[in-house]
Chain A
Amino acid sequence: ETGVTQSPTHLIKTRGQQVTLRCSSQSGHNTVSWYQQALGQGPQFIFQYYREEENGRGNFPPRFSGLQFPNYSSELNVNALELDDSALYLCASSSPGTGFDNEQFFGPGTRLTVL
């Protein structure tokens, strides 16, 4: 069973640029959630995708957007990057309704630095 993978591992961008982060969910999982984790803080929920539709969103502006593909992999896109967007971006996959509803499996994250 393959775990959650994310790419790239590290990324450096400049303010105003756009970035796309990628996530491959664990085999059999149809739900992907994205989180932003600033240094020294807990992860903050960005949004969740279920069967290619966004079905929940946290307190993040519209320049944070996402996609989920038929194979349940996912992308996080951030436009007009700001310095405060520098963080570790985590994706987590899960499969609600299987009896392990609350167990989200996290990837190792993508460290984004905005200069």
Chain B
Amino acid sequence: GESVGLHLPTLSVQEGDNSIINCAYSNSASDYFIWYKQESGKGPQFIIDIRSNMDKRQGQRVTVLLNKTVKHLSLQIAATQPGDSAVYFCAELIGGGYQKVTFGTGTKLQVIP
């Protein structure tokens, strides 16, 4: 399949370890922050979102942390598996009228078996 991970920052993690993917954002007016996973040859897949007035949200094996003071977002993946290998994008959503999602530059996660 085609690669969406060219020239992207890469994070290599041993299978079973925890992964932390970081993202800096710029728009303080964003209502939500969203993490997407994109595998080669596929469209982005929604992982988890967090409202701007929250600091932390947990899902299945994933945790998103939001630090509004330094405009930083992170995605933590517990017990990383080979199937987690993909490009991960953080995105900002400003609501009100329509859903405009602004994607950041992705991070390529490589899981080493």
Contact = CB atoms under 8 A, between A and B. Distances in A.
Describe B's contact surface by its main secondary structure: loop
Given A48-B100, A50-B98, A56-B100, A4 B43 contact: yes
Contacts of A78: none
Interface in B15-70: 32, 34, 41-46, 49
A105 B46 contact: yes
B99 A39 contact: no
Give chain A's interface residue range (CB within 8 Å of chain B). 20 to 34
Given A45-B102, A88-B2, A108-B41, A102 B97 contact: no
Contacts of A109: 42-43
Shortest 9 CB-CB contacts between residues of A and residues of B:
A106-B43, A42-B103, A56-B98, A40-B6, A55-B98, A40-B7, A102-B49, A103-B46, A48-B98
Interface of A: 4, 31, 33, 35, 37, 39-45, 48, 50, 55-56, 58, 88, 90, 92, 94, 96, 101-109, 111
